[in-house]
Amino acid sequence: MTDTAIARAAQLAPAVGDSRALRQVIGHLGARIAIEPHALRIELDRGLLADAMKVGSVDGLIRDPIVLAAPVSLKRRGIELRLVYAAHDIRPANRDPHLIDLIRRAWAAWKKLATEPRSANPVERSHLVRLARLRFLAPDITLAIIEGRQPVELTARTLLRCGELPVDWVDQRKALGSA
């Protein structure tokens, strides 16, 4: 691509977060966007793109649209549905303060169970035991939670309600969607 073409393409791109300008550019390029079960498809009209880029005559262009596809999946997170790009390394960090606090409380519960006298209240003890078992998450799962790289469907509620969390770290990764 020439420097001139790159400069023209940059002029087409709206400012980050300007959704109104983005809709105008998409409309100007005759783009059609479809969310399919496993892909996000964008079709661009070659003629309109060539005209916007000012690359000359559109008479000799192929008439087929330009098709861009990105693998995605739909993941349920509580009551909301999220569109997740399949390339996990590219996904930006999404720190969940509730999950991070749950990990902190799990370590505190383990310390309390290990150092303090046994609680007379069976409900409190049961809650502490349920929390403390999360202290034994695989280190990479704990690190992913702290860095905000946990699977989209992993929430504090799902982690706390996970009935029998496997002891084996490989099985934990499978059960929590990190494998």
| DSSP, res 153 | T
- How many angstroms separate the Cα of 92 from the Cα of each of 13, 134, 157, 160? 21, 25, 22, 24
What is the spatial distance between Cα 91 and Cα 15, in angstroms, rounded to a whole number? 20
Phi-psi region of 72 (alpha: psi -120 to 50; beta: other; left: phi over 0): beta
For range 80-103, the mean pLDDT:
77
pLDDT, averaged across the chain: 82
What residues contact 20, with CB distance under 8 A and at least 6 apart? none
3-state helix, strand, coil in the chain (%, to 5): 45, 15, 35
Q: State yes or no: pLDDT of 33 exceeds 70.
A: yes
Cβ-proximal residues to 123 (8 Å cutoff; 6+ apart), any chain:
none
Taking the C-alpha atoms of residue 50 and residue 33, their distance in angstroms, rounded to an integer, is: 19
In the predicted model, is pLDDT for residue 1 greater than 60? no
pLDDT value at 88 more than 60: no
> Is the Cβ–Cβ distance between 134 and 106 less than 8 Å?
yes
40-80 confidence digits (pLDDT tens): 888 888 777 777 777 665 566 667 788 888 888 877 777 77
Boundaries of every domain in the chain: 3-85, 97-175
Measure CA 41 to chain center: 18
